[in-house]
A and B are shown apart, each in its own frame.
Chain A
């Protein structure tokens, strides 16, 4: 078992910053959400990687926001 919970604490603190990074990527998140929501309409069919392009855009924006936060704090 863990001794002082250092790794857990680090992982959790990264997770706690998720909402801030997500807030910085509102447009990409909205595009991805719209794509998934469109598949729930009658006649649509949600399958794996249906919205992969929008998600990759969201992920790169998110990673950039996270990196900026990391750079900014050091």
Chain B
């Protein structure tokens, strides 16, 4: 039976963990330690996680949360497609940073036996979408997963790792909770996401105020992603990119939708104030530089899909050096060898 274990760095103020009782039960387990200074020498503190939690809670409590869910729904269904492509079934799965649980609704009980959904925002978990797979909702931070080693057959992540402060550590945690021969299927935003908005704001702020500050959070580059996954211990990596372009009436509607998705900026170095003049200027620049023929403006979301496996003896390995039995120089003689086999 699954027993979530206490991580090394858990603070003593947390109470005990609840054992999941059975199918369809919902137990809220206290999350791990919030990142304090000096937990690890390479710890970065770019994002205010407490504020991100408030933003996601606010977004989940909106009167019509499904109005802003289109992007996560689309990517969630793509992740589910990739899970179906793997010819295996997964008795126990984990959804990291699930939001309202966009992946589980596309999966069926044969492929995934039971799924644990974790997020930092309790209201998102409370309003999670319907699915016929038994779920357990756990309140946990992506960097402090409260699970034992070698627990899950499948870990999925839908567009939430771009708000994680220490991404190498989060990927290592995911690798830790996976069973050998387990797989991680994730999607996160890439470097070109919202480049139109970023450029418009930069140009407008430079022209209006003489300088600019970052309003779009930094994203991981695709090369770095491969290195990070390798460093976390994953095997047989696959990273591919996808671009989704969504058309909006204007820049203000785009910003409102981003807020409704819970994707507002929460980096510590954000400028809290955006002048109305600058907003007006940026909207004008956006429209002029990027608009489509029908007057709408596009916003690009670049998604990186990644698949990584945890090592297991049964997985194919590259052959040892010097174990070749045939040389490349024999390629010319291949045509002599082949016709024997083809006469069938």
Is the Cβ of B252 less than 8 Å from the Cβ of A29? no
Is the Cβ of B284 less than 8 Å from the Cβ of A32? yes
Contact of A22 with B284 at beta-carbon distance under 8 Å, contacts A33-B289, A37-B289, A59-B277 already known: yes
- Looking across the interface, which residue of chain A has its beta carbon closest to that of B249? A19
Is the Cβ of B283 less than 8 Å from the Cβ of A22? yes
CA distance A22 to B286 in the complex (A): 12
- Residues of chain B within 8 A of A16, CB atoms compared: 252
Residues of A with Cβ closer than 8 Å to B? 15-16, 18-19, 22-23, 28-30, 32-34, 36-37, 39-40, 46-51, 55, 58-59, 62
Interface string of B225-266 (1 = CB under 8 A from A): 000000000000000000000000110110000000000000
Is the Cβ of A19 less than 8 Å from the Cβ of B280? no
- Residues of chain A within 8 A of B289, CB atoms compared: 33, 37
Is the Cβ of A55 less than 8 Å from the Cβ of B281? yes
Residues of B with Cβ closer than 8 Å to A? 203-204, 206-210, 249-250, 252-253, 277, 279-281, 283-289
Tell me, rounded to whole Å, the shortest Cβ–Cβ distance linking A21 to chain B. 9
CA distance A16 to B256 in the complex (A): 9
- Looking across the interface, which residue of chain B has its beta carbon closest to that of A58? B284
CA distance A62 to B282 in the complex (A): 14
Contact of A48 with B208 at beta-carbon distance under 8 Å, contacts A19-B252, A22-B280, A33-B289 already known: yes
Is the Cβ of B249 less than 8 Å from the Cβ of A59? no
Is the Cβ of B283 less than 8 Å from the Cβ of A29? yes
Looking at the complex, which one of B204, B253, B279 makes contact with A36 (CB distance below 8 Å)?
Answer: B204
- Looking across the interface, which residue of chain B has its beta carbon closest to that of A22? B283
Is the Cβ of B288 less than 8 Å from the Cβ of A30? yes
Is the Cβ of B285 less than 8 Å from the Cβ of A36? yes
CA distance A29 to B297 in the complex (A): 14
- Residues of chain B within 8 A of A34, CB atoms compared: 288
Is the Cβ of A18 less than 8 Å from the Cβ of B288? no
Looking at the complex, which one of B206, B250, B253 makes contact with A48 (CB distance below 8 Å)?
Answer: B206
- Residues of chain A within 8 A of B279, CB atoms compared: 18
Tell me, rounded to whole Å, the shortest Cβ–Cβ distance linking B125 to chain A. 26
Is the Cβ of A19 less than 8 Å from the Cβ of B253? yes
CA distance A22 to B283 in the complex (A): 8
CA distance A1 to B281 in the complex (A): 31
- Residues of chain B within 8 A of A32, CB atoms compared: 281, 284-285, 288
A-B contact sample (14 more), CB < 8 A, given A46-B203, A48-B209: A28-B284, A32-B285, A34-B288, A36-B285, A37-B288, A40-B203, A47-B206, A47-B207, A48-B206, A49-B207, A49-B208, A55-B207, A58-B280, A59-B280
Complex A-B: 26 CB contacts under 8 Å: A15-B252, A18-B279, A19-B283, A22-B280, A22-B283, A23-B250, A29-B288, A32-B281, A32-B288, A33-B288, A34-B288, A36-B203, A36-B207, A36-B285, A37-B288, A40-B203, A46-B203, A48-B207, A48-B209, A48-B210, A51-B207, A55-B277, A55-B281, A58-B280, A58-B284, A62-B280
